[in-house]
Amino acid sequence: MNVAELSVPGRCLVMGIVNVTADSFSDGGRYLDADRAIAHARQLVAEGADMVDVGGESTRPGAVRIDARTEEHRVLPVIAALHAEGIPTSVDTMRAAVAAAAVAAGVSMINDVSGGLADPSMLQVMADAQVPVCLMHWKTLQFGDATGRADHGGDVVADVHARLDQLAARAIDAGVPEDRIVLDPGLGFAKSREDNWALLNALPSFIDGAFPILVGASRKRFLAGVRRGRVQVTPADADPATAAVTAISAHMGAWGVRVHNVPVSRDAVDVAALWCAGGGTRG
């Protein structure tokens, strides 16, 4: 399978998030039980998700890594059950062993937020897997760091462009076909609020590149600043801002968006598709 076979013709793909974790910033612990995670995934699909991204390890700032066995125990039953129902899934993991086990369980995509850097065996697993892969930009790969900020040399856009090019080149050199690669600029990962907005402003330059782009802005802390002092109690309060980012990203031609709240982002994607079709512009 390549990226084109996983894509949705005529519009941006909607990837719904299922965190099978105890400590994710948005919904940690809510879907740690496999049955609840599977039920939530089904709900996301019913609400309009095209794919479900299943993750067993939190990557929030300050998170502590779990062991591989625990991560597999969390994600594999969910992936296997959804695959049996014909629901496409991606596995959000930085471990080669977990990725390989997920492929055996029927996963449709490997989503590595480290871009293949955290585990030296990951690129070989990706090359052997025969499924699309997403490589994300995360410069520090630091767990246990409450700030998680990185130095991007004064130009975050240029730095992310260069490093994503390097990640793609490494994957291709390892045997991953170009038509199986998706890139993610890594909003919120070791980036300041200003960095994130700069990357979104430069999104067309990423979309016009050689690889499809996944945008993962959902409920990120920088979106909380949109409210400018208005009440925000939970990460879910950023869902309207997330939907706005989704609509703009989809209109610009993003391959996919990774979101927690599927209905509002699916509406945003559909509006963007209709808007572009009516105006004859890219979408």
Cα radius of gyration rounded to whole Å, the chain: 17
Phi, psi angles (nearest 5°) of residue 11: -160, 170
DSSP code string of 201-229 = HTHHHHHTSSS-BEE--TT-HHHHGGGTT
Q: Distance between CA atoms of 215 and 110, rounded to whole angstroms? A: 15
**Cβ distance 53 to 88 under 8 Å?**
no
The reply to whether 139 belongs to the active site is no
> In the 8-state DSSP scheme, what is residue 86?
T
Q: Distance between CA atoms of 91 and 250, rounded to whole angstroms? A: 23
The reply to whether 258 belongs to the active site is yes
Among 139, 180, 220, 266, which one carries the catalytic annotation? 220
Structure tokens belonging to residue 2: 């390549």
Edge to edge, what strands does the sheet with 51-55 contain? 181-184, 133-136, 109-112, 89-92, 51-55, 13-19, 256-259, 214-215
Among 74, 139, 180, 258, which one carries the catalytic annotation? 258
**Cβ distance 255 to 238 under 8 Å?**
no
DSSP code string of 33-78 = SHHHHHHHHHHHHHTT-SEEEEESS--STT--PPPHHHHHHHHHHH
Residues designated catalytic: 220, 258
